[in-house]
Amino acid sequence: MRILLAHNSTYYPGSGGGDKSNRLLMEALAARGHTVRVVARIERFGDAGHKKFVADLLARGVQGEEIEPGAVRFSRNGVEALTLTRDSHWRGFFASHIEAFSPDVIVTSTDDPAQLLFDLAVKSSARVVHLVRATIAVPFGPDSSGLSAERTARLRQADAIVGVSEYVAAYCREHGGLDATHVPISLLESGEPSHVGRFENPYITMANPCAVKGIDIFLGIADRLPEISFAAVPMWGTTAADRAELARRPNIRILDPVDEIDDLLRVTRVMLVPSVWHEARSRMIVEALSRGVPVVASGLGGIREAMMGVDYVLPVKPVERYRPAVDEHMVPVAVVPPQDVSPWVEVVRLLATDRDHWNELSARSRAAALGYLAQLSVEPFEALLLGLTQKPKKGVAATPAGDDRKKLLALMLKQKQPAKPQSNPWLPVTGPAPRLICLPYAGAGSMSYRKWEVGLTVAPVLLPARETRLAEPPVTSMPDLVQHLVTALASLWGEPYAIYGHSMGAVIGFELIRQLRRRGMRLPAALLVSGARAPQFRRGWAPPPELSQDDFIAELRRLEGVPPKILDNPELLKLALPALMADARLYRTYTYTEDSPLETPIFAYGGNRDPNVTVAHVESWREQTTGQFTCRIFDGGHFFIESQREEFLAALSADLRAAGLFR
């Protein structure tokens, strides 16, 4: 694809979270083989701004080329960036590059609240994807700083609206009537983040101290704790008056923004995010947690998602209105209610003085973030873009793709089988029918199945207490879980589907089908189960006592009940244990009840070296259907689905074809 980003600020070097997120998103798409161009601008046009911009690039080892009067071109990590510097003909500059580049997709965002670039994008032949990174910048709803029915209506011309968090996507649907979805668009650098969090780090830090970010709370904490050292990093929202207030405090040090976040976090003991507006998500929170730096944040907007169930989330009084004015940075002036800083003072004092508590919270913070980052990918966003290029543009007749582009798209779709992201937390991604609904083994999330290619849409189910649902309590009763699934996946039951489950997931799938049958609902074309004893082995089952944590981990190792990549990583294991133990409780207390066999065909798979599930256990699934039954045994242990993935997925695909789901 040819992808054009409309970036209404400095793309690089840019210190804002949205700037960095857009940059990493574009670089990830370029790394996937797409042609990516960015059209950007500097904050203040003119000769001085131009010279500073070129110097800033050179200081970072980037050579800029002046391609036309007042525009600089450079390339970074596979992305071509064109930045307007001298002249203010911004719309004309962007329009000329739409014509010259002829993009398949134009990506716009809320860094253009006046829709100067969005308006040009929707008038082009390209599909338009609008990223909502801040609800203050949308023209609707209670978070907005400027309501406009006209601009809200214009947003409906976008081919897709993508929220940076589930909170933002839901806000757009509820208050703007927009068909918004959430997929990851705030990526982090590749590789495991450095572990720079230390109790010895000198500062309690706040980035971008300003009114909406909670500078009053930050100043109040510093005033109440004069013996503690604080640091502030002025950024896009910090006014001259804010700087003056910071400078008046002897225990606050003002630091310059940094290109490398590690440079800031290695001097940070605790990161404060006391926002009083409804944050869309907060990149800083994830950056800090992933490096073992505890975060103390408010709970507004998408912040709870970013905190991933880790302490501390504290109360604030949110901004309720904005004055009809902007400050020196063209940011709407918020009316901030008086705040009670007492809870903040107590938590900061605790984290600044109690080493043991700090160490425990640091470890939990990093483990949660690493678990999240392990499944973070540009692929869902890429799939969304590819899907749009296969559909007519809103309000414009579809333009047939060239033969070469059609071949490329067909190849990528065949390789990826991309799924269309949804907002249902139980179903993070799905796509068109027919679908293979995949239920997890103990402790697993949706990522275990997302890269499977079986010839139809893979729809992995995400249970509570893992991945993006880490903060939710687990479900520990099989009947309760099945009832939840019947309701949560209701939109899928009317179209062709099959159900697959590994280990615990196999029994969940079996009981789910029995419940659907009781309700007279459409049944799947097939039940596919792996690594699981037939459910009748739980006939008359008396649950044994719950194991201690150490014995539980030892049992997991003995039975090969969890992939080695989790068992051998202490941080990931610590993160996964709550869900693992909850799932073990769910399966340990499961008792089979008699009912007539299913008519649904069953395909059962096992490993010939599974220490807990024998070939006889797998073959006994035959008793649970009056329809077709097929049993396949693979070389391997409990996780033969990983060690023999290619062979297993080929068999799975063949059996789905035999069940009549596709030709």
- Which residues belong to the active site? 503
Q: Provide DSSP, 260-318.
A: SHHHHHTTEEEEEE--SS--S--HHHHHHHHTT--EEEE--TTHHHHHTT-S-EE--PP
Closest CA to 291 of 232, 368, 203, 378: 368
Residues 6+ apart with CB under 8 A from 415: 453
Residues 6+ apart with CB under 8 A from 7: 19, 22, 38, 39, 40, 41, 109, 111
Q: Say how far apart CA 91 and CA 278 lie, in whole Å.
A: 30
Element (H, E) at 132: strand 127-132
Other beta carbons within 10 angstroms of residue 586's beta carbon come to 21
Q: Say how far apart CA 309 and CA 169 lie, in whole Å.
A: 20
Cα–Cα separations (whole angstroms), residue 389 to 6, 126, 399: 18, 9, 10
Q: Say how far apart CA 306 and CA 248 lie, in whole Å.
A: 32
Q: What's the maximum distance between 2 C-alpha atoms anywhere in the chain?
A: 83
- The token pair at 15 is 């210190």
On the 0-12 / 13-18 / 19+ scale of CB atoms within 10 A, 190 is exposed
**Strands ordered across the beta sheet of 457-460:** 457-460, 435-439, 497-502, 527-530, 602-607, 629-634
Alpha helices in 293-420 (DSSP H): 303-307, 342-353, 355-373, 379-389, 403-416
DSSP 661: S
In terms of phi and psi (left: phi > 0; alpha: psi -120 to 50; beta: otherwise), the region of 84 is beta
